[in-house]
Amino acid sequence: MVIIEATDLVHSYEFEGSQNRSIDGVTLHIEQGEWLVILGRNGSGKTTFAKHINALLPVQGGELNVARLDARDPANIWEIRRHCGMVFQDPNNQFVSSVIEEDIAFGLENYDTPAGEIPARVERALAIVGMDGFEKKSPHMLSGGQKQRIAIAGVLAIDPQIILFDEATSMLDPEGRQEVLSTIHKLHAEEGKTIVMITHLVEEATLADRVAVFSQGKLLGVSSPREVLSNLDLLHNAGLTPPLPIRAYYDLQKEGVTLPCCPLTHQELVEALCPSK
Amino acid sequence: MNRLPTGMYLPGDSPIHRLDPRVKLLGLFISVTAIILVRPLIGYGVILAFLAFTVALSGLSIKIALNSVQRLSWFFLVIFMMNTFFYSPENAWFSWWIFTPSSAGLMQGVDVVLRVVFALVASNVITSSTAPMEITNALEALISPFKLVGIPAEQIAMILSIAIQFIPTFSEETEMIRKAQTARGARFDSKKLTEKAAAVLPLVVPIFLSAFKRADELSIAMEARGYRSASGRTRKKFAPLKVDDYFALLIVIAICILQILIR
């Protein structure tokens, strides 16, 4: 079942007297329970697209339905945001309280959740992101990865069907990035959430069910990670560099070594080079 | 993080932690009034004993209670010197240029500094023993009668809560910018007041820019989490005041009345 349905979506902004299109006729359908990565360079329009899904930007042209709600209708804005949570790049700019449980309760309070229900929902959200026991702590005492997991719990407490991650790992160190990616994997696999992940890190695209490539406001292509990431022309047109295993595959091919298949991950590359292991 | 941010909440289960936040906030207001009213030496003694008792009861260390006092030592020194040298030209020890140091000025300097230190300690105890959202809710409850005359109580309380939450972020950021400026030759360690002041200026612009950027990103994040306005949100219902709450309130009121009587 399609949960996000964008048809010929357009968004323009005025810059130095002329109209520029940050989203230019994007048609993209996302299935419920799917993990979609939106890949693109800075300024490719991927964040603008995500902000439309969360109803943070009004639809200027085209159609957009999120969780069967028409995003063009201003009356649906708050219901769309209840169904679709969003995690941003810098966790420090997402906290409204210096006590974790209060911060996670923020979204629930905005939707006038009965006060008696709030503690249990906060506890559950923290347990899902593996941060139980941190209720009374301050987010400022945590590592980058832990802070981002708290930000995810803040969104998760509202129990949205869709979670958007807008470059949510780009400010983290490798360990923090891994923590957040594992959490996203858990939300997708165990909680059945629809994940839309905005990133410019091509390696992260390997985790998804499908990858959509944006460039200059246009959707250049959408397919499986293997098809997208091994399509050098597509990545080149989007100004992206393929992941190391794919670069190695093509470099080896130039040197006359042909591997049985194009490896997507480091592990696949090792297996392709040493099939006996 | 090098130092504990001023007024940061430290969870605990002390009698002060357990008091109703409305009582704590009202108690702080009355205590500060008593501190303003203090006159004779015995008055200072009463306030000092009260604060020492409160700090001990809260389970907070003296270091935490005096946290912001240490940071403001320069401010206190300036206030003290200004009072000593400019307060009273009568009975001055000597007179030189615009300076007229006197015993009355010295006493006034000590008086002003002590009052501010007392008020800071009292507020430190409250902010360190009360969760920010509890302070917000208590403030909202206390100022809610003013809604009748158009004062947006919920918005004021929300602004206060966010301001408290951003203190550690800005303190870390200031430290980071300070280090970056030091690496580029700024001299914050200079003993000269003029150099010190000149070095602070380049800190102000990036901190302001960052504050605006953060405010913008936070407002988007709040909207994304369903924030419309402070009204229409789940309201915390306060439990009725307990005996301890009434007792605490009575003590601070008694101290305030005592300060009026012994003036």
State pLDDT tens for residues A107-160: 999 998 998 899 999 999 999 999 999 998 888 889 999 999 999 999 999 999
Which positions in chain A touch B9 (Cβ < 8 Å)? 98-99, 138
Nearest to A186 by CA among A245, A131, A121: A131
Burial A70-96 (b: 16+ CB within 10 A, else e): ebeeeebbebbbbbbbbbbbbbbbbbb
Higher-scoring residue by pLDDT: B167, A67: A67
* CB of A271 closer than 8 Å to CB of A230: no
Which positions in chain A touch B239 (Cβ < 8 Å)? none
Which of A56, A92, A118 comes nearest B234 by C-beta?
A: A118
- The reported pLDDT for the residue numbered B63 is 83
Tell me which residues of chain B have a pLDDT lower than 70: 1-7, 190-191, 193, 230-231
- The reported pLDDT for the residue numbered B6 is 57
pTM here is 0.78
Cβ-based neighbours of A173, under 8 Å, separated by 6 or more: A144, A145
Q: Does the pLDDT value for residue A277 go beyond 60?
A: no
- The reported pLDDT for the residue numbered B105 is 82
Determine the Cα–Cα distance for residues B125 and B16; give it in Å rounded to an integer.
Answer: 9
Parent domain of A255: 243-277
Q: Does the pLDDT value for residue A35 go beyond 50?
A: yes
Residues 63-82 of A with CB under 8 A from B: 78, 81-82
**Nearest residue in A to B237, CA atom:** A115
Same domain, A164 and A32: yes
User: Residue range A76-94: average pLDDT?
Assistant: 93
Token pair belonging to A170: 């780009």
* CB of B113 closer than 8 Å to CB of B79: yes
- The reported pLDDT for the residue numbered A134 is 93
Q: CATH code at A115? A: 3.40.50.300
Q: Is A140 on the interface with B (CB under 8 A)?
A: yes
Residues 33-62 of A with CB under 8 A from B: 54, 56
Same domain, A116 and A39: yes
Same domain, A144 and A277: no
Q: Does the pLDDT value for residue A232 go beyond 70?
A: yes
Kindly report the average pLDDT of chain A as a whole number.
92
Same domain, A128 and A252: no
- The reported pLDDT for the residue numbered B1 is 41
Residue-wise pLDDT for A233-247, tens only, equals: 999 999 999 999 999
Query: What's CA A151's distance to the chain center, in Å?
Result: 14
Q: Does the pLDDT value for residue A20 go beyond 50?
A: yes
Query: What's CA A131's distance to the chain center, in Å?
Result: 21
Please give the tally of structural domains in chain A. 2
* CB of A184 closer than 8 Å to CB of A149: no
Same domain, A167 and A97: yes
Determine the Cα–Cα distance for residues A95 and A103; give it in Å rounded to an integer.
Answer: 6
Determine the Cα–Cα distance for residues A243 and A211; give it in Å rounded to an integer.
Answer: 14
Higher-scoring residue by pLDDT: A177, B104: A177
Which of A85, A109, A138 comes nearest B234 by C-beta?
A: A109
Same domain, A173 and A275: no
Percent of chain A's residues with pLDDT above 90: 77
Same domain, A95 and A15: yes
Same domain, A218 and A264: no
Same domain, A36 and A170: yes
Nearest to B57 by CA among B210, B251, B223: B251
Same domain, A255 and A151: no
Same domain, A212 and A275: no
Same domain, A196 and A249: no
